[in-house]
């Protein structure tokens, strides 16, 4: 697989063993929260309403970000 991807074995194993970045952790947490709010609304709320709920809770997030997550979960 390393030949196909054009990476060295040591590079692959170094990447695989690397801890998850803060950005990736934050993204996973946001996606989980968006999905949770969507399900709590019985799948009725769209991105504008979910964005408003997240902002009310102090989260800085764009409506387009919420819309992308909502579309991928449908």
Please list the pLDDT of the chain residue by residue as tens digits (74 residues): 899 999 999 999 999 999 999 999 999 999 999 999 999 999 999 999 999 999 999 999 999 999 999 887 65
Cα–Cα–Cα angle for 13, 15, 16, rounded to 5 degrees: 60
In this structure, what token pair is assigned to residue 72?
A: 């991928």
pTM: 0.78
User: Do the Cβ atoms of 9 and 32 come closer than 8 Å?
Assistant: no
């Amino acid at each position: 697989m390393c030949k196909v991807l054009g990476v060295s074995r040591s590079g692959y194993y170094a990447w695989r063993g690397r801890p998850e970045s803060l950005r990736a952790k934050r993204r996973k947490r946001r996606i989980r929260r968006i999905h949770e709010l969507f399900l709590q609304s019985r799948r009725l709320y769209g991105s504008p309403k979910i964005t408003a709920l997240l902002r009310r809770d102090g989260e800085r997030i764009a409506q387009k970000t919420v819309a992308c997550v909502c579309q991928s979960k449908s």
